[in-house]
Amino acid sequence: GAGTGIVVQPDGYIVTNLHVIRDAEAIRVSLSNGQSYDAQVAGWDPLTDLAVIKIDAHNLPTAVFGNSDSLRVGDWVVALGNALALKGGPTVTLGIVSALGRTIITDPAPLYDMIQTDAAVNDGNSGGPLVNLDGDVVGINTAMVRRAQGVGFAVSSVVAGPIIESLIEHGRVVRPLIGLVGADITPVVTNQLNLDLAEGIVVTQLARDGPAYQAGVRVGDAITKINGILTPDMARFLTLLWTYEVGAIVQVEYVSDGETFVASVELAERPTDY
């Protein structure tokens, strides 16, 4: 298999996609200066499909990460990567930001808050940088849709930054656990459950020993806010949830049988899974 990586620290730390190195018996990194190194896995995060690997090298040039929150639909971006593992070095493609905040369904988990681009992304591009016209990394190319043309997705730099730091420092990502699975409220859902809501998430599964269940939340309830901040969909719900520390007590506002309630939920630690 082949993929792409981004040097993030001069002492040999490289970020790539988890699906690039998953189940690999050995990992070999080739740099643009012609040198090659064996690599070890420093850590991975299945929820963002990111992984950090380490090579025994020093004084490497590193990428500069930009602020993906400043992106607007229509901005020019450039994708770089080892497309199709072609001989002769990386492939560079030009496109625009087609959409922001996309959710895509992948195995093993959905990916949230993704950047959509029409810059050509092919097999081998995974883990490579999506850069703005200043050369700053604003995303990490992660997925393409084989049945479509000009539809690729990248993990935003704002999401990736703290994940990379945690993987380098701890070898894993510590996230809070609320103990529920939810789905976006849509017109179909509101009709099925007779909800008088346009936005939010409906609880579809609950762990009986989880924090949300113990606080009184039940399947079919519709969550609309955490600590007074709106959670209009699962992407916003999770990205907001993950900003809190393990052990924090958050106020979850939800609608049950037409009435609005607020539950105090003490967040547990999400177990690390592959």
The answer to whether 19 is a known catalytic residue is: yes
Separation in Å, CA 272 to CA 172, 177, 241: 7, 11, 16
Q: Which amino acid is at 161?
A: G
d(CA 251, CA 258) in angstroms, rounded, equals: 19
The answer to whether 157 is a known catalytic residue is: no
Do 122 and 31 form a contact (C-beta atoms < 8 A)? no
Name the active-site residue from 68, 98, 118, 126: 126
Name the active-site residue from 19, 98, 118, 156: 19
Name the active-site residue from 45, 49, 221, 233: 49
Enumerate the active-site residues.
19, 49, 126
